[in-house]
A = this chain, B = another copy of it.
C-alpha cells in the first residue's frame, strides 16, 4: 500500500533537499533500511524540519533519568490520546524495540492503565496525560507526588517536554494526514 499519498501537502524529492537534511535522511535510511515519512513530509519546510530535529535530539538523546523505553512510552501514550496515526505507529515500533517487548505498544496505546508497566511508569504516564490535556491544571501537589515516585525536577521536565514536543508533532502529522511507512507496523513484533 506504499503508493498511497504520504501527505496532504507536496512531498519534496530527497535529491532536491538541502545538503544537511539530505545527509541526515540518508544516514537514517542506511541505519533503518527505509526513510521514515516524517522526514520527507516535514521537509516541505526545511527550516522547520531542522528545528524539529534539533528539538527532538535535544530531548530524546540527552542523558536523562528516563530510559529510552520510558521516553517512547510517553510518546505512544500521549499520541494515542491525540489520535495521531503516524506517531503511534512509528514510535510504537521504536517502543517495542527499546522495551524489548512486542506487546507493550498496543497495551500503552489502548489503555496504559492495564499495561504491563511499573507503578513508577504509571505515575509518569498520568503526569504526561495532564500535560497532554494542556498542562494548566498542574499544581505543586503534582510535583510532590512525582518526587515521591523518585522523579527529579529534570525527569519531570523531560516528561513534560517530550509530551509537549509530541503535542506539536501529533498536530503536524494530523494536519498532513502523514502516512506511516508500512515497515513500521511490523517492526519489533517478533522478539521477546
Contacts and interface: CB of A to CB of B under 8 A. Distances in A.
Interface residues of A, number: 72
Interface string A109-121: 1110111100000
B175 A138 contact: yes
A82 interface: yes
Interface stretch (A17-25, A27-35, A45-53, A67-75): A45-53
Interface of A: 1, 4, 8-10, 44-45, 47-48, 50-52, 54-55, 57-59, 62, 80, 82-85, 88-89, 92, 102-103, 106-107, 109-111, 113-116, 131-132, 134-140, 143, 153, 156-157, 160-161, 163-165, 167-175, 177, 179, 182, 185-186, 189-190, 192
10 contacts: A1-B116, A54-B54, A85-B111, A89-B106, A114-B174, A131-B174, A134-B174, A138-B175, A138-B177, A160-B171
